[in-house]
Amino acid sequence: MDSIDPGRRSRNMAAIRSKNTKPEMIVRSLVHRLGFRYRLHRKDLPGKPDLVFGPRRKVIFVHGCFWHLHPDPACKDARVPQSRREYWLPKLTRNTERDRQHNQQLEAMGWLVLIIWECECRRPDELKAKLRAFLSL
């Protein structure tokens, strides 16, 4: 059972952004400090990747662990809610299927794809190494 009344829950969910989220801003800042330049949310690419490195043909998606069902069992943010599972499970499953299709389309177009999970942003040193390795290839 949800501990918040439906009106409040609706307002909370409506306030969730899809662009310029805190994890995305952390990744953007790290990438910029590493000396790489990028474009944001190119609409002509499948899935509108969060960061696009055109000449390198690389893209980065910054996924929220809850919304994209982070498959890591250690991630505590990727749990499906216990209330209204008949709504949440199909919705979150559709998100992951759409992500998979976008990744396949991008790779078929010759792009390399990196997914950064929200929980990875809590470990900046590891994230920095991962970004440097991906972008330096």
pLDDT value of position 13? 64
pLDDT value of position 112? 98
Collect the ranges in the chain with pLDDT lower than 70: 1-2, 9, 12-18
Q: Does domain 18-136 fall into CATH 3.40.190.10? A: no
pLDDT value of position 79? 87
**In the chain, what are the domain boundaries?**
18-136
Contacts of 121 (CB under 8 A, 6+ apart): 22, 23, 26, 27, 62, 127
Please, are residues 133 and 125 in contact by the beta-carbon 8 Å criterion? Answer: no
Contacts 24+ apart (CB under 8 A), 49-52: 49/106, 49/113, 50/19, 50/24, 51/27
Model pTM greater than 0.75? yes
pLDDT value of position 14? 64
Q: Tokens 């040193």, residue?
A: 125
